[in-house]
Amino acid sequence: MVNRNIPLVRQVVQEILSGIEAGNLARDNGILPSETELSQRFGVSRATIREALSQLEQRAVVIRRHGVGTFVAPQPPRIDAGLEELESLETLARRIGLETHMGDPLIEERVATPAEADCLLLPLETRVLAISRVIMTGQRPIAYLIDIVPTTVLGRERLERDFRGSVLDLFIRRGDLALSYSRTDILIESADEHIARKLHLQLGDPVHKLKAQLYTRDGRVIDYSISYFVPGYFHFHVIRRVGQQA
């Protein structure tokens, strides 16, 4: 199991997660093997097992009961999203009955970075609203969302008056922007220090990352967004049509 390029605790975390998902680690009552048994199974120290279980407890994957054992936690509802149709996280969560709320948003009016201006297809020195916020279910962060919007499209006063967490839903409620489509890149990344802190993850934990440009019918990009999602709460899929047969 040892891979010298990956911290040992993280390897154990992944092995335990894989065992839980495969259904071959927990007993019928959901209890995991003892720390000693896990230590022998994975060939690591009990201290390493203890730290791995602590990290999994922080991620709400397991529940540890003193003097009883460690149990697989009940799994939360998972958002299963097809990416063919553009919908907000709030809409997707509402559909499966998952209650979400927004942490305090950070709203900053500034000049776009060169990369942001390029993604917005706008000149350098374009002024934008940068809107970042954490989306939570209960006390658990499940997503960190960043939107970059030209101030010619959305002013700070209107944002602060109408914003409920989703820039897309705000645009849809306005009804004056003739939205057309989103071009989205789908990535898996390791959480850096900033993202790990926002989503209560360990440094290097995998996260889903979506980078998107929202287009209007006249070809303008009115929103450039970067979204990070905690695995376990989200499953993304794409329906692909069979190409023309020879």
- Residues in the chain, overall count: 246
Taking the model in full, what pTM does it have?
0.78
> What Å distances lie between residue 242 and 84, 239, 245, CA to CA?
15, 10, 8
Q: Which residues contact 106 (CB under 8 A, 6 or more apart)?
A: 130, 131, 132, 133
Provide the terminal-to-terminal Cα distance of the chain, rounded to the nearest Å.
46
Close Cβ partners of 176 (under 8 Å, ≥ 6 residues apart): none
46 in Cβ contact with 39 (< 8 Å): yes
Query: What three-state secondary structure class fits 184?
Result: strand
Given a cut of 90, whether residue 138 has pLDDT beyond it is: no
CA distance 141 to 98: 13
Which DSSP state fits 24? S
**Cα 143 versus chain centre, distance:** 4
Residue 2 has pLDDT above 70, yes or no: no
Provide the residue type at 112 as one letter.
Answer: A
Residue 220: C-alpha distances to residues 122, 181, 186, 209 (Å): 9, 11, 21, 23
Give the per-residue pLDDT at 246. 65
How many angstroms separate the Cα of 163 from the Cα of each of 9, 59, 66, 169, 241? 40, 29, 44, 9, 36
The pLDDT of 32-56, averaged and rounded, is 92
The predicted pLDDT at position 208 comes to: 92
Instruction: State the Cα–Cα distance between residues 135 and 198, nearest whole angstrom.
Output: 10
For the chain, what percent of residues have pLDDT higher than 90? Answer: 55
Domains of the chain: 8-72 (1.10.10.10), 79-237 (3.40.1410.10)
pLDDT at residue 245 above 80?
A: no
Rg (CA), the chain: 21
